[in-house]
Structure 1
Amino acid sequence: MDGTLVDTEPYWMAAEVELVTSFGGVWTHDDGLALVGQGLWISAAILKSRGVDLELDEIVSWLTDRVQRQLDDVGVPWRPGAKELLADLRERGIPTALVTMSVRRMAEQIVANIPFDAFDEMVTGDEVTNPKPHPEAYLRAAELLGVEPQHCIAIEDSVAGLASAVASGATTIGVPHVIPLPDTDEHTLWTTLEDRTVDDLIELVTARTAAR
């Protein structure tokens, strides 16, 4: 979700800076980049190690509150082509699941801003034991959809997200945003989702299946 469907990474980074500085610490842009794609409780532990004197659950709740407030005040900043591809998937009757390390209340806020029923299922960071890069979240999403993971396509923007999706067995697409992604045979890189359609997804799956 964050960074793939919506450009909320700047919101998270601003919240991190505000939190760390409120405890007298220093948090740089590079520090923020290091948390992109990580599970929120992993991020919270790192922030705590940098002087944030709160419990992990409190840190997660504080950050989520700040990001949700920015979403209310500024709006939902969609990534290019994201809503359009989701709409094409729905029109073609292809089941979809949102897999995010954000907590459910924030994911529901984002989904509520989509002007159609975009997802059949949702797996969030507060509902898994093992966050990305572990494959649990994607395996759970496939289970909820009633399909095998190898019959799924996952779209990600972070290194941890890519690792999670690839480990699940899904055909994986990386769309770089605030951090570069490795170029390997394990996944496919697209520069953007703009002008991408279901036909592009089908073509990709067909090509990767033939190459196995």
Structure 2
Amino acid sequence: MDGTLVDTEPYWFLCQVELVESFGGTWSREDGDAMIGSGLWQSARVLQSHGVDLSEDEIIDRLTTAVLERAAVEIPWRPGAKELLAELRREGVPTALVTMSIRRMAQFMVDAIEFEAFDAIVAGDDVEHAKPHPEAYLRGAALLGVDPADCIAIEDSTPGLASAVAAGTVAIGVEHHAPLADDGPYIRRDTLVGTTVGDLRELHRAGRAVRDQAASDS
């Protein structure tokens, strides 16, 4: 969600800086970038190591509230994301939002879309294991009643792509704030702008070939 549907990573970073500095510590851009795509509880432990004297749940609650306050003023939608979702809905393609943000954050963003964009939501507080573990994507496919191999997962981070690949989906990496490897077992895409359902069908076929080749090489 963060980085693919909405560009809230800058909000998260600013809130992390404010939180760490409120406890007398420092937080760099490199610190923030290193946590892109990670689960919130893992991120909370990193913040604790930088001097934030709060429990993991307190950190997550405080950061989520701070980010939502900014999002209530403006939600920075990623280019092409809502347009692609709208076409998927018109074509009757089932969709799930799989995110490591907690449910109240995910629900806020989903409710802000002017149409019913998703059939299911899997949030960070719905799963035991965060990305790169495949649990979230496996749960998403199960909620949709589909085989993960028939799914496409769109991600912008290395942990997210690893989760999607491990779950058996065809993964598409759209690089944004964090660099992605050029030789990973996924399809690279520069942007979602102009992407159609027909494009996704072609990408799924290409992605299955990439995934099968990676499996045979391992």
User: TM exceeds 0.5?
Assistant: yes
What's the offset of the Cα at 1:138? 0.1
Counterpart contact for 2:171–2:207, Cα < 8 Å = no
Counterparts in 2 of 1:27-38, with a 5 A limit?
27-38=27-38
1:185 is displaced (CA, Å) by 4.8
| CA offset digits 1:126-146 (Å, max 9, x no partner) | 110000000000000000000
Instruction: State, as a whole percentage, how many aligned pairs show the same letter.
Output: 59
Q: Is 2:6 the partner of 1:6?
A: yes
The whole-number CA distance in structure 2 between the counterparts of 1:24 and 1:124 is 31
Matching residue of 1:120: 119
Code of the residue aligned with 2:173 in structure 1: it is G
Q: Note closer, same or farther for the CA distance 1:210–1:52 as it changes in structure 2 (3 Å cut).
A: closer
Which residue number corresponds to residue 191 of structure 1?
190
Residue type of the alignment partner of 2:135:
E
Distance 1:55 1:183, change over 3 A: same
CA RMSD of aligned residues (A): 1.0
Partner of 2:135: 136
Cα shift readout 1:77-105 (whole Å, capped 9, x = no counterpart): 01110000000100000000000000100
1:207 CA displacement: 3.0
Decide whether the 8 Å contact of 2:172 with 2:187 is kept in 1. Answer: yes
* Unmatched 5+ stretches in structure 1: none
Deviating runs (4+, > 4 A) in structure 1?
none
Partner residue in 1 for 2:19 = 19
Say if 2:85 is the partner of 1:48. no
Q: What is the one-letter code of the residue matched to 2:193? A: E
Amino acid at match of 1:29: R
**What count of residue pairs does the alignment treat as equivalent?**
211
> Which residue type is aligned with residue 71 of structure 2?
L
Segments of structure 2 that go 5 or more residues without pairing to the other structure are 213-218
Q: How far did residue 210 of structure 1 move?
A: 5.5
Query: For structure 1, which segment, 79-88 or 181-190, has the greater mean C-alpha deviation from structure 2 after superposition?
Result: 181-190
The 5 A counterparts of 1:1-212 are: 1-73=1-73, 75-209=74-208, 212=212
Distance 1:185 1:50 in 2: 32
SS of the residue corresponding to residue 41 of structure 2 reads helix
Give the distance between the partners of 2:6 and 2:77, measured in 1 at CA: 4
Q: CA deviation at 1:28?
A: 0.5
